């Protein structure tokens, strides 16, 4: 049993907070940029909200055309909010074009241009700047952006937003090897939004990496309650169980990954861990 657990540990089992569990490009930047067009509170998107939605939708279909549209929009913007929204769309278009440096600068510009009274929108834009910096492998710059986003989120009194940004900041802190600070950010995320399953999952991963298996077990149990079908949760639960000497529980967790997501990368890893436990 001890040998199997050691083998798993030496294989860097489970999501590593310095690598896969704190991914470089979040879905807001890559997979579903259109979400940002509807994420901001209605107060931040008055008459120009439709134009932003149009530009963001175009970015998913033709990023170059969306970039041109955003630039033209900036030249004719009717107010400060439209300037911010045009830069917002430009940033998303540049992400689609894999120009993360340009996207970061566009999101910074948009953040600065948001008029007073819309801290949640400003927080989202600052966080997008941080994520663009992470995509470039610049966690120090990203951490500054996320810290800024955290201040705006606090002013907005939006607890789920505060939690989401705290998770992002934790990713940057882990990349900077500031793990205790990352743990504190994740604790804030859990307190701000106890229903944030990702915060509980990454907390469990980081606790495991810090050899705090008791905390890791509690955190992954909560993650499993919130996201029972998430293969990443099942994988992490199995790793924690194996390293805690509970091989039967580990097998059940790894097997659950094969059941819920048999073609996933997590399933591939789960199979290799099951083979390790069998030796």
What pLDDT shows up at residue 228? 95
Domain 1-18+195-279 and domain 19-176, same fold? Reply is yes
pTM value is 0.81
What pLDDT shows up at residue 49? 63
What pLDDT shows up at residue 66? 94
What pLDDT shows up at residue 279? 82
The CATH superfamily label for domain 19-176 reads Tetratricopeptide repeat domain (1.25.40.10)
Tens of pLDDT along the chain (279 residues) come to: 444 443 443 333 334 433 333 333 333 333 333 333 333 333 344 445 689 999 999 999 999 999 999 999 999 998 999 999 999 999 999 999 999 999 999 999 999 999 999 999 999 999 999 999 999 999 999 999 999 999 999 999 999 999 999 999 999 999 999 999 999 999 999 999 999 999 999 999 999 999 999 999 999 999 999 999 999 999 999 999 999 999 999 999 999 999 999 999 999 999 999 999 988
12-to-8, 23, 151, 167, 205 alpha-carbon distances in Å: 7, 16, 35, 22, 12
Domain 1-18+195-279 has CATH 1.25.40.10: yes
What pLDDT shows up at residue 48? 52
Give the start-to-end residue ranges of the domains of the chain.
1-18+195-279, 19-176
Three-state secondary structure string covering the chain: CHHHHHHHHHCCCCCCCCCCCCCCCCCCCCCCHHHHHHHCCHHHCCCCHHHHHHHHHHHHHCHHHHHHHHHHHHHHCCCHHHHHHHHHHHHHHHHHCCCHHHHHHHHHHHHHHCCCCCHHHHHHHHHHHHHHHHHCCCHHHHHHHHHHHHHHHHHHCCHHHHHHHHHHHHHHHHHCCCHHHHHHHHHHHHHHCCCCHHHHHHHHHHHHHCCCHHHHHHHHHHHHHHCCCCHHHHHHHHHHHHHCCCHHHHHHHHHHHHHHCCCCHHHHHHHHHHHHHHC
Measured between alpha carbons, how far is 89 from 67 in angstroms, rounded to an integer?
Answer: 8
């Amino acid at each position: 049993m001890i040998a199997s657990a050691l083998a798993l540990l030496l294989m860097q089992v489970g999501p590593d907070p310095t690598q896969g569990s704190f991914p470089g490009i979040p879905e807001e930047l890559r997979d579903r940029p259109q979400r940002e067009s509807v994420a901001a509170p209605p107060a931040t998107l008055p008459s120009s909200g439709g134009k932003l939605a149009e530009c963001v939708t175009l970015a998913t279909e033709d990023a170059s055309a969306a970039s041109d549209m955003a630039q033209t929009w900036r030249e004719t913007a009717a107010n400060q909010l439209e300037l911010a929204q045009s830069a917002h769309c430009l940033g998303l278009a540049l992400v689609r074009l894999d120009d993360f440096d340009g996207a970061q600068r566009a999101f910074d510009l948009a953040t600065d241009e948001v008029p007073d009274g819309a801290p949640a929108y400003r927080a989202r834009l600052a966080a997008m700047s941080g994520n663009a910096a992470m995509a470039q492998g610049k966690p120090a710059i990203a951490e500054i952006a996320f810290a800024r986003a955290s201040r705006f989120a606090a002013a907005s009194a939006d607890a789920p937003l505060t939690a989401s940004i705290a998770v992002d900041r934790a990713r940057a802190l882990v990349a900077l090897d500031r793990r205790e600070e990352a743990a504190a950010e994740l604790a804030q995320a859990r307190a701000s939004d106890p229903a944030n399953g990702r915060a509980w999952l990454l907390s469990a991963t980081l606790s495991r990496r810090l050899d705090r298996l008791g905390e890791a077990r509690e955190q992954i149990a909560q993650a499993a309650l919130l996201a029972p079908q998430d293969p990443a949760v099942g994988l992490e639960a199995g790793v924690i169980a194996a390293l805690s000497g509970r091989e039967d529980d580990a097998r059940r967790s790894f097997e659950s990954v094969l059941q819920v997501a048999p073609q996933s990368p997590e399933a591939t890893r789960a199979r290799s861990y099951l083979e390790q436990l069998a030796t």
